[in-house]
């Protein structure tokens, strides 16, 4: 017998839990943007109380009970959207209840100290200072993975991947990463050997932050980011937070002497933001069908707008006349070709977050292998620098000079974030594979972009990706849209098609 | 036998409750400052969940039980600070538990609709549209007063006053308001009859908002507002929120064509802000001894910095050279006398929030009488416009042209805020009475202000007012500081001493 009231109670509990999550997210956003420094201690207390309340809501036994009752109601499970929602609510509830709260608390405590040690170790460029803390973190992370349990047909590390990329398996990822790594390393080698140098001087002319901000806002509006349902602010580390229905916040940072940092940062976060604004939150707030699939799919949206749109020749064809007026400076004499070349250089460098579109993926694959080795036990923490440095040189052809520019550069591990890195490259791969399909569906896309007509692209993403929420898994969505499993080919076609002519190879 | 653990548990429950309050306050602050418009519906849900959690924390029976156990522990009550804290915690708990939650919910629901109706009625300048809603509000507010109960030796209205001004009695307030009203009305009449006109033209020269903002920030810093533990933003209605320890936020609004609006708004909110920053929150967060006494005392702090400091000749002696540089425009040729005169005019006008320092109090007393009549039953809602208009003309000598500029101008009643208005004039009265004592304690205060030495004034307020938190009631504090009960004399001396020479009367 159908029990609509049971389902409604379930929806209302989920919605309440999502609302608590929104509050927590706003506290975080404010901490990064406008909170005065002396408010830090009180803010930590506020965040901790809200985290506790959120966790309590997510593990409320009534929630588990209501999910069970709905799962056994054929009137509900016959609806494919409700069925998918129930499947995802079950997943969330099981994940949340599987971790003992002492483990969560200990991980939070150790991570908060480890972050301090990591900062000092990085400043001193001394991995040995950080190693004992990373050992503790890894032991706790492994315990976490054991609580989740090795997924069927997978390895222990997959339990960690699964948090960020549901149902992903490292063996599948490896099967895509391996050809990508070989072809990318080859391409990078050819570029390094090429005589043609691409100038980036045009990017380093001084442009004041307020002009950059106005231009960024203009581009956001033109691309369809709804500024009545979102905003753009400044933080040290740019991010996007779809913190509540109708409230999606982007941040960027301005460097007077390199305006493309902020511009591409803004486009990147806007890609995330368009996804958040495209989710059916107004009707289904609190339900998985109004939430994003995975970090990889989220990243595919940000990379698409940043790299496939923003670094294209057509983007600059449209943007340059406006940039001349709004940015001034060197823009007044820049050409489309100059800008297109300057924003598409590919050069090996040490720091992941400063890497270009091509070499970036090699940074990721290095981390993926190291993490996998750490969790399987094939690699010990103290052996990280050696493994890092030798693999880095093999992949990127340059020698890591010190730990600061090597294995100490990322904050992730000190937070206990293991299994996260792979999603960055998955995002690039999904973006490329979707992009080929989009160009089949919208035949004149390039010409449209060149005249600033971004609406068909946004509408396509809304319809084929955003509207589904968590109804499909990432790999299912990929097959559904492109007819194929994820592959390295589209991304390599994209990079080679752009970089070979640019470097005359 | 002392039970330190019981006391510690009590402190920790109160602190948690205060932390939830901080979260609620941040949600409000963000709603007024940076929230995108489309986030309003989700924000209402976030606020409502937090209000529910805050109310639950404030009425937690464990809290009541711990208070009782501490009250009967002589080892605790022997400490005067702890004893005062227990007295105030008892007060908070009793007030919070005395209102049935259905009444709170209904008042919130009716108020939210009444605010909409009020907006429409004000736009149409038609009190009759609003009257049925105000009737409902007043019935609920009266029920609220009955739940609190008529305080000993007082009347029903005092139960409402007590929420904002603990232990205040309308009879006592009337005893101060009556002579104030007579003397003020006389002074205003004399000014109206005087031939001397004071020019305000110097204030209406155009000054861009960003210059005003920089000047405002400069003044805040000079006066001792800690901008590392606070900030200044822009909202439609300026306010101050000491939302958490180390986090006090001020807002103002800029009109290019009248820079003193923002300047005095900023000084006003800064007065509140210095009080919040002066409370011993870092040590006693969550305890009454780290909270403000009453709205009247809070307002005394804002009015002191706005009117007693900011409208003084010495303030402009110090500020003008800096204003010349930072504001430019007409400031470059302004004189101290010109500015001092222009910011101290006294002219009857219709709108309370635009009224000057002197006539303002007549606006308040009118509302105080009307509210008191409504709660006692001597005045019916439908008779408000008649009572308003005739009293207004008697007090201020001008005829109210319509409801929009009369009894429909304030938002307070539509919110269910009854008993609040009086605290504005109480603030002016306390400020004046404290100011005389401060000038006795700091002999050369005026000369110090004229050279921008605000530290002794701030230190005095910190020591004699802020440091005590809620240890004393407002009237006790007044006697403790000035040796006398609150009186109309200091405020009248202040106003007459300034306005008589200015208008040559």
Q: What confidence tens digit (pLDDT) does each residue in A282-304 have?
A: 999 999 999 999 999 999 999 99
Around Cβ B426, how many Cβ atoms within 10 Å? 28
Tell me how far the alpha carbon of residue A192 is from its chain's centroid: 28
Nearest by CB: A42 against B34, B38, B246: B246
Using a pLDDT cut of 90, give the percent of chain B over it: 95
Asked if B43 has any chain A CB less than 8 Å from its own CB, the reply is yes
* Shared domain check, A76 and A12: yes
Find, among B382, B383, B401, the residue nearest to B392 by Cα: B401
A48: closest CA of chain B, how far (Å): 10
Per-residue pLDDT at B224: 98
Chain B residues 50-69 with a CB less than 8 Å from chain A: 50, 53
In a domain, A498, yes or no: yes
The complex scores an ipTM of 0.93
| pLDDT greater than 60 at residue B1 | no
Burial (Cβ within 10 Å: 0-12, 13-18, ≥19) of residue A227: middle
Contacts of B38 in chain A (CB under 8 A): 226, 228-230, 246-247
Residues A323 and A361 in one domain: no
Which of A22, A228, A248 is facing B46, going by the closest CB pair?
Answer: A22
Answer yes or no: do A247 and B50 touch at CB < 8 A.
no
**Residues A247, A252, A253, A255: what is their CA dihedral angle, to the nearest 10 degrees?**
-140
Residue B246 touches chain A, beta carbons under 8 Å? yes
pLDDT at A94: 95
A246 neighbourhood in chain B, CB within 8 Å: 36, 38-42
Helix (H) or strand (E) holding A158: helix A156-164
Of B23, B230, B248, the CB nearest to A23: B23
Q: What is the mean pLDDT of residues A236-251?
A: 96
B247–A36 C-beta distance less than 8 A: yes
DSSP notation for A94-153: HHHHHS-HHHHHHHHHHHHHHHHHHHHHHHHT-HHHHHHHHHHHHHHHHHHHHHH-PPTT
Q: Of the candidates B103, B110, B89, which has an alpha carbon nearest to the alpha carbon of residue B146?
A: B103
Domain ends where: A422, A442, A476? A422
Q: Look at residue A395 in the predicted model and tell me its pLDDT.
A: 92
Q: Can you read off the two tokens belonging to residue B180?
A: 């104030």
Summarize the confidence of residues B427-451 as an average pLDDT: 98
Write the residue in A39, A49, A248 that is nearest to B247 by C-beta. Answer: A39
Taking the Cβ of residue A153 and every Cβ of chain B, the question of whether any pair is shorter than 8 Å is answered with no
Instruction: pLDDT band for A253, please (50, 70, 90 cuts).
Output: very high
**Residue A184 sits in the same domain as residue A145:** no
In a domain, A72, yes or no: yes
- A135 and A188 inside one domain: no
The stretch A263-271 carries a mean pLDDT of 97
Integer CA distances (angstroms), A235 to A31, A132, A266, in order = 10, 31, 12
Instruction: State whether A23 and B19 contact (CB < 8 Å).
Output: no
Tell which of A422, A456, A477 closes a domain: A422
B18 contacts: CB under 8 Å, gap ≥ 6? B285, B286
Is B22 at the interface with chain A, CB within 8 A? Answer: yes
Q: What is the pLDDT of residues B85-95, one digit of tens each?
A: 999 999 999 99
pLDDT value of position A2: 52
Task: Give the length of chain A.
Answer: 505
Structural element, H or E, at residue B125: none
Q: Region A35-63: what's the mean pLDDT?
A: 94
User: Three-class SS string for A269-324?
Assistant: HHHHHHHHHHCCHHHHCCCHHHCCCCHHHHHHHHHHHHHHHCCCHHHHHHHHHHHH
Q: Pull the structure tokens for residue B308.
A: 């007693």
**Mean pLDDT of the region B257-286:** 96
Q: In this predicted model, what pLDDT tens digit does every residue of A336-346 receive, in sequence order?
A: 999 999 999 99
Residue B101 has a pLDDT of 87
CB contact under 8 A, A228 and B42: no
Please provide the DSSP assignment of A196-258 as one string. -----GGGGS---HHHHHHHHHHHHHHHT--TTSEEEEE-SS--EEEEETTEEEEEE---TT-
Is residue A153 left, alpha or beta, with left meaning phi > 0 and alpha meaning psi from -120 to 50?
left
Q: What are residue B23's phi and psi, to 5 degrees?
A: -60, -45
Counted domains in chain A: 3
Q: Does residue B40 have a pLDDT over 60?
A: yes
Task: Tell me which residue of A345, A470, A377, A453 sits closest to A86, measured CA to CA.
Answer: A470
Tell me, what CATH number does A226's domain have?
1.10.1370.30
The pLDDT tens digits of the residues spanning B158-172 come to 999 999 999 999 999
A193 burial type by CB count under 10 A (0-12 exposed, 13-18 middle, 19+ buried): exposed
- A229 in contact with chain B, both atoms CB, cutoff 8 A: yes
Q: List chain B residues with CB under 8 Å of A23.
A: 23, 27, 46, 49-50
Distance (Å) from the C-alpha of residue B331 to the closest C-alpha of chain A?
27
Domain span including residue A29 = 4-164
- Residue-level pLDDT at A49: 94
For the residues A81-89, what does the mean pLDDT come to?
98
- The most distant pair of C-alpha atoms in chain B lies apart, rounded to whole Å, by 74
- Across the interface, do B49 and A16 touch by the CB < 8 Å criterion? yes
Interface test with A, best of B31, B49, B242, B250 (most A CBs within 10 A): B49
Residues A300 and A353 in one domain: no
Final residue of a structural domain among A164, A185, A219 = A164
Question: Is residue A16 in a domain?
Answer: yes
Choose among B425, B411, B443, B413: nearest CA to B491: B425
Q: Cα–Cα distance between B377 and A363 in angstroms, integer?
A: 77
- Whether A495 and A184 have beta carbons less than 8 Å apart is answered as yes
Query: What percentage of residues in chain B have a pLDDT greater than 70?
Result: 99
Ranges A105-109, A242-246, A317-321, A485-489: which has the least confidence: A105-109
A216 with A149, same domain?
A: no
The closest of A161, A117, A195 to A367, measured between CA atoms, is A161
Contacts 24+ apart (CB under 8 A), B94-103: B95/B148, B95/B163, B96/B55, B96/B58, B96/B59, B97/B59, B97/B64, B98/B147, B98/B148, B98/B149, B99/B144, B99/B147, B99/B148, B100/B147, B101/B55, B103/B140, B103/B143, B103/B144, B103/B147
The per-residue pLDDT for B185 is: 93
Could you tell me if residue A483 is inside a domain? yes
Confidence of residue A257 (pLDDT cuts 50, 70, 90): confident
What pLDDT does residue B4 have?
Answer: 62
Rounded Cα gap, residues B285 and A354, in angstroms: 43
Whether residues A250 and A341 share a domain: the answer is yes
Alpha-carbon span A175 to A181, nearest angstrom: 10
CA distance A282 to chain B (A): 9
Tell me if chain B has a CB within 8 Å of the CB of A19: yes
Task: Check whether A473 has a pLDDT greater than 70.
Answer: yes
| Inside any domain, residue A119 | yes
Task: Let me know whether A252 and A378 are in one domain.
Answer: no
In this prediction, residue B236 carries a pLDDT of 87
A246 Cβ under 8 Å from any chain B Cβ: yes
User: What is the 3-state secondary structure of B14-44?
Assistant: HHHHHHHHHHHHHHHHHHHHCCCHHHHHHHH
For the purposes of burial, counting CB atoms within 10 Å of the CB of B467, is it exposed (0-12), middle (13-18) or buried (19 or more)?
middle
pLDDT of res. B3: 58
- Is the CB of residue B267 less than 8 Å from the CB of residue B238? no
Query: Chain B partners of A43 at a C-beta cutoff of 8 Å?
Result: 244, 247
Q: Considering CB atoms only, which of B27, B34, B230 is closest to A36? A: B230
pLDDT band of B112, cuts 50, 70, 90: confident
- In angstroms, the CA B266 to CA B278 distance is 18
Q: Are residues A182 and A159 in the same domain?
A: no
Q: Work out the pLDDT band at B314, boundaries 50, 70, 90.
A: very high
Q: How confident is the model at residue A4 (pLDDT cuts 50, 70, 90)?
A: low
B132 touches chain A (CB under 8 A): no
- What per-residue confidence (pLDDT) applies to A105? 87
User: For residue A396, is it within any domain?
Assistant: yes
What are residue A241's phi and psi, to 5 degrees? -135, 115
Give the count of beta carbons closer than 10 Å to the beta carbon of residue B256: 15
| Mean per-residue pLDDT, B261-282 | 97
pLDDT reported for residue B105? 87
Determine, yes or no, domain membership for A427: no
pLDDT at res. A3: 58
CA-nearest residue of chain A to B53? A53
- A289 with A411, same domain: the answer is no
> Starting at the edge strand that comes first in sequence, how are the strands of the sheet with A230-234 ordered?
A230-234, A247-252, A240-244
Write the residue in B22, B40, B226 that is nearest to A46 by C-beta.
B22
Asked if residue A189 and residue A155 are part of one domain, the reply reads no
Q: Which of A22, A39, A231 minimises the CB distance to B42?
A: A22
**Mean pLDDT over all residues of chain A?**
96
Whether the predicted pLDDT of A135 surpasses 70 = yes
Whether residue A277 sits in one domain with residue A390 = no
The size of chain B, in residues, is 505
Average pLDDT across chain B, whole number:
96
Which residues from chain A sit within 8 angstroms of residue B30, using beta carbons? 26, 30
Contact B384, B409 (CB under 8 A): no
The answer to whether A46 contacts B229, with C-beta atoms less than 8 Å apart, is: no
Beta-strand pair A247-252/B240-244: unpaired
pLDDT higher than threshold 70 for residue A466: yes
Q: Is A250 on the interface with B (CB under 8 A)?
A: no
pLDDT in tens, B59-103: 999 999 999 999 999 999 999 999 999 999 999 999 999 999 889
Q: Decide: helix, strand or coil at residue B237.
A: coil
Q: Say if residue B275 is exposed, middle or buried (CB neighbours under 10 Å; 0-12, 13-18, 19+).
A: buried
Catalytic residues of B: 269
Q: Which amino acids of A are annotated catalytic?
A: 269
- Structure token pair of residue A170: 């490292």
* Pairwise CA distance, residues A103 & B273, whole Å: 41
Q: Give dist(CA B312, CA B445) in Å, integer.
A: 12
């Amino acid at each position: 017998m159908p029990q609509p009231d049971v389902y409604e109670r379930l929806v209302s509990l989920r919605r309440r839990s999502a609302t608590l999550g929104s509050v927590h997210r706003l506290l975080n956003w404010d901490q990064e943007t406008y909170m005065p420094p002396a408010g830090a201690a009180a803010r930590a207390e506020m965040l901790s109380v809200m985290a506790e309340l959120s966790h309590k809501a997510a593990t409320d036994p009534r929630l588990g009970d209501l999910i069970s009752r709905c799962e056994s109601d054929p009137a509900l499970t016959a609806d494919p959207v409700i069925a998918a929602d129930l499947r995802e609510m079950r997943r969330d509830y099981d994940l949340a209840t599987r971790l003992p709260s002492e483990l969560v608390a200990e991980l939070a405590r150790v991570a908060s100290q480890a972050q301090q040690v990591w900062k000092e170790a990085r400043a001193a460029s001394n991995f040995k200072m950080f190693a004992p803390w990373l050992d503790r973190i890894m032991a706790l992370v492994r315990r976490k993975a054991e609580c989740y349990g090795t997924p069927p047909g997978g390895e222990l590390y997959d339990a960690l991947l699964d948090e960020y990329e549901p149902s992903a398996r490292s063996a599948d990822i490896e099967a895509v990463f391996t050809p990508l790594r070989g072809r990318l390393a080859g391409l990078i080698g050819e570029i390094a050997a090429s005589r043609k140098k691409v100038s980036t001087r045009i990017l380093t002319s001084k442009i004041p932050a307020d002009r950059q901000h106005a231009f960024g806002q203009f581009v956001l509006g033109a691309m369809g980011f709804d500024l009545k349902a979102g905003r753009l602010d400044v933080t040290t580390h740019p991010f996007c937070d779809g913190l509540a229905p109708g409230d999606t916040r982007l941040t960027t940072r301005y460097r007077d002497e390199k305006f493309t940092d902020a511009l591409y940062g803004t486009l990147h976060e806007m890609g995330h933001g368009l996804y958040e604004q495209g989710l059916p939150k107004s009707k289904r707030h609190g339900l998985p069908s109004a939430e994003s699939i995975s970090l990889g799919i989220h990243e595919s949206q940000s990379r698409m707008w940043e790299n496939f749109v923003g670094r294209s020749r057509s983007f600059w064809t449209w943007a340059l006349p406006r940039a001349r007026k709004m940015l001034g400076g060197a823009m007044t004499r820049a050409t489309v070709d100059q800008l297109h070349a300057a924003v598409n250089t590919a050069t090996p460098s040490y720091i992941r977050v400063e890497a270009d579109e091509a070499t970036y993926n090699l940074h990721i694959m290095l981390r993926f292998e190291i993490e996998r080795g750490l969790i399987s036990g094939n690699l010990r923490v103290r052996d990280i620098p050696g493994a890092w440095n030798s693999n880095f040189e093999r992949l990127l052809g340059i020698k890591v000079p010190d730990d600061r520019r090597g294995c100490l550069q990322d904050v992730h591990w000190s937070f206990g974030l293991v299994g996260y890195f792979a999603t960055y490259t998955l995002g690039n791969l999904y973006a490329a594979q979707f992009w080929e399909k989009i160009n089949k569906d919208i035949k004149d896309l390039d010409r449209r972009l060149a005249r600033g007509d971004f609406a068909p692209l946004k509408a396509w993403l809304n319809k084929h990706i955003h509207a589904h929420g968590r109804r499909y898994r990432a790999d299912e969505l990929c097959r559904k849209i492109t007819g194929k499993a994820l592959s390295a080919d589209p991304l390599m076609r994209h990079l080679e098609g752009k970089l070979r002519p640019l470097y005359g190879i």
